[in-house]
A = this chain, B = another copy of it.
């Protein structure tokens, strides 16, 4: 371990997306869990990225990552391949993306290889990739302080990948899942019961993602209900979950504190960073976020959720 500021490592997709929402339609824009995560975490902590792109991946995006100080030594460029492509549209109910097209391209053969100096990274995020690859990454890192893992219905529903996923989950600190994924993985309807069943498998915290309704953390120390930032404009919800995770992990690394009060604050950072991500298409707003803007929204979110303790007895005279 070095004495420098804790660093965040993310392993995940880098994509070129076509996205249509009621507020516009954009093609060939930067996307992918790894992209959103790293740009979300970058204002808070140094970020190292592991991923793969094709020959078609624009240099301007590489430049964008570099300008935000993101270490790209773990990103491989396949000379004769094409970048992962995803196309989706959203209706006014922007909680649900309708996938129109998925072309894995170079991402289909992705085998994460961590540069040697990445292996000591303290904070690690395994974005939504094949659970076997998540296990591969866990084998490559040396005693990370805190590992977060995201997954999806596809890996939960398949018996083979599900077994790998269960193994990966038993080796991480935080599991990021939405309500449906938590229910699918545990077979339990009640989300708190389900979250505790996941805690029993090893993790110290389950982060239940609820889209525009925020997120809920369940740990052995309690429950934290994290509201989504009250936003006027949502143009494109793509990447909200990974931006939340980026803000969360970035803040955890910045504080270098994984205790429960720190987890709560990191959740609020996640909500704040995600609120920037969805204000415009792709990572457009995310890349210009300043520390002052983050601090300002953090305080707004705190004001919008805080209420006073009871000062007087509840009962009327009876």
Binding site for B on A (CB under 8 A): 5, 22, 43-46, 69, 92, 189-190, 192-193, 210, 213-214, 216, 222-228, 230-233, 254, 261, 264-265, 267-268, 291-292, 294-295, 298-299, 302-310, 313-316, 318
Beyond A46-B316, A224-B304, 12 extra complex contacts between A and B, CB < 8 Å: A190-B232, A214-B227, A223-B230, A225-B228, A226-B307, A227-B305, A264-B306, A291-B313, A291-B314, A292-B314, A299-B310, A305-B305
- Can you identify 8 A-B contacts, CB atoms within 8 angstroms? A43-B314, A190-B232, A224-B307, A225-B305, A226-B307, A264-B306, A265-B308, A291-B313
Q: In the bound complex, what is the Cα–Cα distance between A73 and B61 (angstroms)?
A: 72
B291, A302: Cβ atoms closer than 8 Å: no
B230, A192: Cβ atoms closer than 8 Å: yes
Residue of A22, A267, A306 ringed by the most chain B CB atoms within 10 A: A306
Complex A-B, nearest 6 residue pairs according to Cβ-Cβ distance, in ascending order: A291-B315, A291-B314, A213-B213, A225-B227, A264-B307, A295-B314
Q: Report chain B residues within 8 Å CB of A69.
A: 318
Nearest B residue (CB) for A22: B189
This protein's copies in its complex = 2
A268, B307: Cβ atoms closer than 8 Å: yes
Given A210-B213, A314-B43, A225-B232 contact (CB < 8 Å) = no
Q: Report chain B residues within 8 Å CB of A213.
A: 210, 213-214
Q: Would you give the shortest CB distance from A215 to chain B, in whole angstroms?
A: 11
A189, B92: Cβ atoms closer than 8 Å: yes
Q: In the bound complex, what is the Cα–Cα distance between A193 and B223 (angstroms)?
A: 31
Q: Would you give the shortest CB distance from A184 to chain B, in whole angstroms?
A: 13
B310, A298: Cβ atoms closer than 8 Å: yes
Q: In the bound complex, what is the Cα–Cα distance between A44 and B313 (angstroms)?
A: 10
Q: Report chain B residues within 8 Å CB of A264.
A: 306-308
A304 is contacted by which of B43, B92, B222 (Cβ under 8 Å)?
B222
Q: In the bound complex, what is the Cα–Cα distance between A254 and B311 (angstroms)?
A: 13
Q: Would you give the shortest CB distance from A232 to chain B, in whole angstroms?
A: 5
